[in-house]
Amino acid sequence: MYSLNWVYPVFLIAITYFVIRIYGIWILETVTLPIIRTLNSGVLRSGEQVSGPKWRFPNGNVVERFTNGRAKSEEWRKYGPVYRVWSGFNPEIVITTPEALKHFSSDANDHPKAPNVNLGWYVGEILGQAMGLLYGQDWKRLRRTFEPAFTHSAAAARLDDIKNDARGYVEKLPLFAKEMTGASFENSDKSFSLPLLQAFTKFPYFQTAATIYGPMTEEEERNLWAVTEKRIALNQYWIAGGLYRSKILANLFSRGAVQQLREFNRGWRDFNVGILLHTLDELLMLNLDVITHVVTWFILLVADHEHIKQELYDEMTANDDGLAQYISRSDTHLHRCFIESMRVRPFAIFTIGESSSVIKNFHGVRVKPNTQTLVDVLAINVRNPFWGPNSKEFDPSRLKNIKTSDLRYNLHSFGIGSRKCMGQFVASHIVKSLVLHLFRAYDIDVLKGSKEQEGDSYNVDKASWTPKADVLLKLTKRD
């Protein structure tokens, strides 16, 4: 007789194997949450307690808030005006109201950021020492070094060059369209199609670069773009988190990504002869995604709103004789379109986060000192009752009767306090100059990727960390 004693243990092992395979991650996530919450909940017991989404393996919620911020901001509303997410094992408190933003900002000049923005080793190798992530004397030294090129007066001095370059760029668009789409049309043709994102990535980038390096030759631009392409290829790793949070794990299991990082760092070092690499990365490469995001949404939203587009054209033609002054003004329809597009389509739905050294009381929740706090920008810019019932609509005229001081805690665009965006004046000149010359020369419509075609929203590029508008435009020359 054969003994069947072995059947039971094998059966048990098989069942355990399948349970772990199917439910392992769920079990791990469920067990981890109470442990990390007990170790550090981020809030004091003496105040209201907070809830929030479940901790996810292996990064917490940091990847989803980066790559799918818009949907997550909507989904996480159910946790109330103050809630908690996790970055790795670190709690991060999210605030969503102007009152909380005002209270948090009261000591904003003194807010450090988390090392490597809580994203771990890989991002640290690229950006860890960048100005935006530093604090105290190190931050002051770098800001003092770079700020002179970006002040209001320095930006005004460069405005004529930016404006002329924008006109030159717009004149070359038919040529770019041929290269990009492979379409065959004659220069005499009035209309052609143009992929929005592809067509408007390089202009703001090289304008920012020219602010730092001075005028660049075509060869220098080509060299810089070659290094930039290597840098763009790295985004997928730092956004993914996981094993890229750890030097040891990345070296053990993803040698290709580490190799790419080393190659990029070598090329970038050669380009900048070894100085201040991380801040230059922040000024250029990181902001490539930011400023391209802003440009693509500005163009798309104006193009897709007939009466707003017409009002812009009328205003532009009325200002033909004083374009530089027109671009620098903030009481124009052009400027309102710029601000309104950043309001409804912020480049990041959650800020990267910073902490206060004192207890912060947000709606009864007492946040422990030195706990990362994030702003839900969509909640401030759109869901906030300040913006009224049609807050989701792109309606620049709403800004006509709002005082700038009232925007302070009801609009998040260039940041807060002394850590406000250093590039804001130059960036706004670059973006407005480009849009001005573009809509002055062409009537623009959306050919593919419009709201109607895509369902509820426009087609969005999901390849990087800012969700840029990615549609096909139809450009028709104006007479």
User: Which window, 14-22, 214-222, 306-314, 423-431, contacts ligand HEM (CB under 6 A)?
Assistant: 423-431
To the nearest whole angstrom, how small is the minimum distance from the Cβ of residue 162 to ligand HEM? 12
User: Which window, 157-165, 213-221, 254-262, 422-430, contacts ligand HEM (CB under 6 A)?
Assistant: 422-430
Tokens of 157: 């001095």
| 118, 62 Cβ separation under 8 angstroms | yes
To the nearest whole angstrom, how small is the minimum distance from the Cβ of residue 146 to ligand HEM? 7
- Told to check if 352 binds ligand HEM by CB under 6 A, we report yes
- Comparing CB distances to ligand HEM, the nearer of 129 and 254 is 129
- Told to check if 448 binds ligand HEM by CB under 6 A, we report no
- Told to check if 427 binds ligand HEM by CB under 6 A, we report yes
Site string for ligand HEM, 308-347 (x = CB under 6 A): ----------------------------------x----x
Distance CA 232, CA 99 (A): 37
- Comparing CB distances to ligand HEM, the nearer of 250 and 399 is 399
| 458, 451 Cβ separation under 8 angstroms | yes
| CA quadruple 240, 241, 244, 247: dihedral, nearest 10 | 170
- Told to check if 414 binds ligand HEM by CB under 6 A, we report yes
Distance CA 349, CA 73 (A): 7
To the nearest whole angstrom, how small is the minimum distance from the Cβ of residue 431 to ligand HEM? 6
| CA quadruple 298, 303, 306, 310: dihedral, nearest 10 | 80
- Told to check if 422 binds ligand HEM by CB under 6 A, we report yes
Distance CA 301, CA 114 (A): 35
Question: What three-state secondary structure class fits 404?
Answer: helix
- Comparing CB distances to ligand HEM, the nearer of 138 and 314 is 138
φ/ψ (deg, to 5) at 356 = -105, 150
| 339, 411 Cβ separation under 8 angstroms | yes
- Told to check if 423 binds ligand HEM by CB under 6 A, we report yes
Site string for ligand HEM, 361-400 (x = CB under 6 A): ----------------------------------------
- Told to check if 95 binds ligand HEM by CB under 6 A, we report no
Cα torsion 309, 314, 317, 319: sign: negative
CA-angle at 231, arms to 129 and 422, nearest 5°: 45
- Told to check if 123 binds ligand HEM by CB under 6 A, we report no
- Told to check if 129 binds ligand HEM by CB under 6 A, we report no
Distance CA 237, CA 259 (A): 12
- Told to check if 143 binds ligand HEM by CB under 6 A, we report yes
To the nearest whole angstrom, how small is the minimum distance from the Cβ of residue 12 to ligand HEM? 52
- Told to check if 267 binds ligand HEM by CB under 6 A, we report no
Neighbours of 219 (CB within 10 A): 8
- Told to check if 282 binds ligand HEM by CB under 6 A, we report yes
Question: What three-state secondary structure class fits 350?
Answer: strand
Closest CA to 376 of 59, 75, 40: 75
To the nearest whole angstrom, how small is the minimum distance from the Cβ of residue 475 to ligand HEM? 23
User: Which window, 20-28, 171-179, 290-298, 387-395, contacts ligand HEM (CB under 6 A)?
Assistant: 290-298
To the nearest whole angstrom, how small is the minimum distance from the Cβ of residue 213 to ligand HEM? 12
Q: Which residue, chain included where needed, has tokens 């897709």?
A: 304
Tokens of 152: 């209001």
Q: Tell which positions 206-235 bind ligand HEM, by CB under 6 A.
A: 208
With contacts defined by CB under 6 A, how many residues of the chain interact with ligand HEM?
24
- Comparing CB distances to ligand HEM, the nearer of 174 and 289 is 289
**DSSP-assigned beta bridge partners for residue 477:** 442
For ligand HEM, the binding residue among 50, 294, 444, 475 (CB under 6 A) is: 294
For ligand HEM, the binding residue among 173, 243, 291, 382 (CB under 6 A) is: 291
- Told to check if 69 binds ligand HEM by CB under 6 A, we report no
Instruction: Tell me the angle at which helices 306-318 and 424-441 cross, rounded to the nearest 10 degrees.
Output: 100
- Told to check if 283 binds ligand HEM by CB under 6 A, we report yes
- Told to check if 150 binds ligand HEM by CB under 6 A, we report yes
Distance CA 276, CA 281 (A): 9
- Told to check if 415 binds ligand HEM by CB under 6 A, we report yes
For ligand HEM, the binding residue among 419, 432, 437, 440 (CB under 6 A) is: 419
Q: Which residue, chain included where needed, has tokens 């929203």?
A: 457
Distance CA 344, CA 146 (A): 30
Whether the upstream peptide bond of residue 346 has omega within 30° of 0, thus cis, is: no
Please report the DSSP string for 60-105 in residue order: BTHHHHHHSHHHHHHHGGGG-SEEEEEETTEEEEEE-SHHHHHHHH
Binding residues vs ligand HEM (CB under 6 A): 131-132, 143, 150, 208, 282-283, 287, 290-291, 294, 342, 347, 351-352, 413-415, 419, 421-423, 427, 431
